[in-house]
Structure 1
Amino acid sequence: MTPLPDRYCPVDGTRVAARSLAWCCPVCGGPLDLDFAPTPASLKSLSGRVNSMWRYAETLPLAAPSFSLGEGRTPLVPLKHGISAKLDFLMPTLSFKDRGAVLLAELAQRLEPRQVVADSSGNAGTSIAAYCARAALPCTVYVPTGTSPEKVEQISAYGARVRVADGDREAAARQAREMADEPDVFYASHVFNPYFLHGTKTYAHELWEDLGGRFPDVLVLPVGNGTLLLGTALAVAELYTAGLIDRRPALYAVQAAAVAPLAHAWAEGADDLADGAPATATVTPTFAEGVAIPRPPRARQILRAVRESGGTFLTVTEDQIRHAQQDLASQGLYVEPTGVVGWAAVREGLLGTRSAVVPLCGAGLKTGLAGEPAGA
């Protein structure tokens, strides 16, 4: 079995041993990164490999899974206006989060904790519950008040214990972290644990392969905690460093206007969220519950990744989200409101004539049609 890489804090450099159950930097309390710099395989050498995200084994810190649900290799289809969409809702649990959840469950299985705990507004929780079921790991998922009943039902169906926090997304995270601090508990955090990012980066490796070894001008990505955007940035850096692409695509980060802390920081030219901002904040109701994150822990990394790519931040209104969901449905694609924010931005003509791809991240069956914003 390949040795696990150590983790480290990107802020102060503190290192955390590979097999430690510590979930954050012991000095600053921030999220961790992975001491892992892989070299991806060439396009030609991918031919004939397994038709899942595990075909990119060279780039994954856990390259030999003991279990899989066939995650990855989702279709790329054209939409209107010359834009294409990658259908990442066509995954085992109907969400792109499966890309990262399978790595967290695989890691947990190797570390053998007595319990796995996670917090989520829905999709990450369903993914982690499913892969813990596959790995026969006991799992508890904390969700905020107002989480889609369909997502709560899905988490429970996998055999995980659901704990509904008395409060918002931040309250669910606090309660999960309290449990994570108990002995022999593995915190399957899609935000703090870097293995999740190394799973989501396969989205971009697939896209690069789908397009014959290149990227479009722009990758449009929904951003709440930024796991898909940061994973994409990792993949782009790997491919560029290996000489497999000669230019990097611009990353366009999209937030719901109702909860857009990163877009506001970007507009102010800031490198991070304001230090004086409260640890919790009142979240305005939004259809896009999955990106309604008032203080993303990796905010500094997200802002830097967008800036270094030559990209920008965009925001979309509730009406634009609702209309985008209906527009996609009219094209045969039933996607949850959070998953359509990229298309909502694109269909407003904000990219001009630049080529772009948007991810459709979660199935509409998880939430239904946008009616009243989540939390209203």
Structure 2
Amino acid sequence: MTPLPDCYCPADGTRVPAGSLTWCCPLCRGPLDLDFAPTPAPLKSLVGRVNSLWRYAETLPLSAPTTSLGEGRTPLVELREGISAKLDFLMPTLSFKDRGAVLLAELALRLKPRQVIADSSGNAGTAIAAYCARARLPCTVYVPEGTSAKKLEQIEGHGARVRVIDGDREAAASAAREEADTPGTFYASHVYNPYFLHGTKTYVHELWEDMGGRLPEVIVVPVGNGTLLLGAALAVAELHGAGLIDRRPALYAVQAAAVAPLAHAWTEGATDLSATVPPPMSPTLAEGIAIPNPPRARQILRAVRDSGGTFLTVTEDQIRHAQRDLASQGLYVESTGVACWAAVREMALGTRTAVVPLCGAGLKTGLAPQS
């Protein structure tokens, strides 16, 4: 079995040894990164490998999975000339969160905790519940009040215990973090645990393979806690560092205008949220990215800036129209998952190519009502 790499705090350099249940930096309580710099395999060596994200074994911090449900390798389809969509809503639990959840469950299985806990607005909790069920690990998921009934049903269907917390998404996260300090607890956080990011990065490794060893000029991703964007940045760095791509794509980060702290910081030229006055927030159909204070804000802003990308925001009406537009093309996607298409479907990208993720199935939330 491959030895586990150590973790470290990107803010102050504090190291956390491999095999620890410590979920955050002991000094600043911030999220951790992984001391892991893999070299991806060349395109020709992928032929004949397992048809899941585990085909990119050289880039993953865990090997020989026992919890896999065949996640990954989702289709890439054209939406209009120059813009394609990756159908990550066709994952085992119907969202892209399976990419990171399988690594968290695999890690937990090796660490043998007394319990696994997670917090989520729905999709991450569902994915963690499913893979913990696969691993036969007891799991509790903390969710905010108002979480989609369909998502709650799915979490409970996998045998996880659901704790509905009064308040918003941050209230659910705070309750989970308090429990995470209990001895013997593995906090399967898709935000704080870096293994999740090394799962989501396979999204870009698949794009690179499906496009014949290249990447689009623009990768568009929805951003709440930024797990897909930061995973994408990891993969781009790996592929570029190995000489497998000669240029890095621009990362376009999409937020709902109703909850857009990162987009606001971007327009202010700030490097972190602490340097800005938070803009007013209102309810949004894009519940999955309605995160007022993402813990990895500084990393997200830096990743977009370093890529030559930008932030985009979408209105509630744009989300509604984009969801119906995709449905008319045969793609039934949840309201959060259509945010990227809402942002770029009427943009003039010129000759640039772009890919958007369709991150969650429409059955999770239903069709957004017309305004």
The one-letter amino acid of 1:60's match is L
Q: CA deviation at 1:64?
A: 1.4
Return the alpha-carbon distance in structure 1 between the equivalents of residues 192 and 322 of structure 2.
31
Tell me the equivalent position of 2:250.
250
Q: Which runs of 5+ in 2 are unaligned?
A: none
Tell me the equivalent position of 2:341.
343
Relative distance call for 1:326 and 1:372 in structure 2 (3 A) is closer
* 8 Å contact kept, 1:85–1:359: yes
Tell me the equivalent position of 1:269.
269
* 8 Å contact kept, 2:9–2:33: yes
Match of 2:88, SS state, is coil
Match of 1:69, SS state, is coil
1:278-333 Cα deviation digits (max 9, x unpaired): 8xx97410000000000000000000000000000000000000000000000000
Is it true that 1:166 corresponds to 2:170 in the alignment?
A: no
* 8 Å contact kept, 2:270–2:276: no
1:82-134 Cα deviation digits (max 9, x unpaired): 31000000000000000000000000010000100000000000000000000
The one-letter amino acid of 2:76's match is L
Tell me the equivalent position of 2:17.
17
Relative distance call for 1:283 and 1:180 in structure 2 (3 A) is farther
Match of 1:36, SS state, is coil
Return the alpha-carbon distance in structure 2 between the equivalents of residues 27 and 52 of structure 1.
37
Percent sequence identity is 81
Return the alpha-carbon distance in structure 2 between the equivalents of residues 255 and 40 of structure 1.
31
Tell me the equivalent position of 1:238.
238
1:323-359 Cα deviation digits (max 9, x unpaired): 0000000000000011011000111215344210000
The one-letter amino acid of 2:66's match is S
Tell me the equivalent position of 1:28.
28
Relative distance call for 1:80 and 1:255 in structure 2 (3 A) is same
Tell me the equivalent position of 1:37.
37
Q: Aligned-pair RMSD on alpha carbons?
A: 1.3
Match of 2:74, SS state, is coil
1:159-204 Cα deviation digits (max 9, x unpaired): 0000000110000001111111101000000000000000000000
Q: 2:369 aligns with which of 348, 362, 371?
A: 371
Q: CA deviation at 1:235?
A: 0.3
Tell me the equivalent position of 1:124.
124
Is it true that 1:301 corresponds to 2:299 in the alignment?
A: yes
Q: CA deviation at 1:67?
A: 2.2
* 8 Å contact kept, 1:77–1:86: yes
Match of 1:322, SS state, is helix
Alignment of 1:1-376 (within 5 A): 1-274=1-274, 283-349=281-347, 351-371=349-369
Q: CA deviation at 1:226?
A: 0.4
* 8 Å contact kept, 2:105–2:131: yes
* 8 Å contact kept, 1:287–1:372: no
Return the alpha-carbon distance in structure 1 between the equivalents of residues 73 and 340 of structure 2.
20
* 8 Å contact kept, 1:283–1:292: no
Relative distance call for 1:363 and 1:239 in structure 2 (3 A) is same
Q: CA deviation at 1:275?
A: 5.0
Q: Report the TM-score, using the length of structure 1 for normalisation.
A: 0.97
Q: CA deviation at 1:372?
A: 8.0
Q: Which runs of 5+ in 1 are unaligned?
A: none
Return the alpha-carbon distance in structure 2 between the equivalents of residues 282 and 179 of structure 1.
30
The one-letter amino acid of 1:57's match is A
Return the alpha-carbon distance in structure 2 between the equivalents of residues 351 and 265 of structure 1.
24
Match of 2:274, SS state, is coil
Return the alpha-carbon distance in structure 2 between the equivalents of residues 284 and 144 of structure 1.
16
Aligned length: 371
Q: CA deviation at 1:80?
A: 2.1
Return the alpha-carbon distance in structure 2 between the equivalents of residues 124 and 362 of structure 1.
11
Match of 1:304, SS state, is helix
Return the alpha-carbon distance in structure 1 between the equivalents of residues 96 and 265 of structure 2.
26
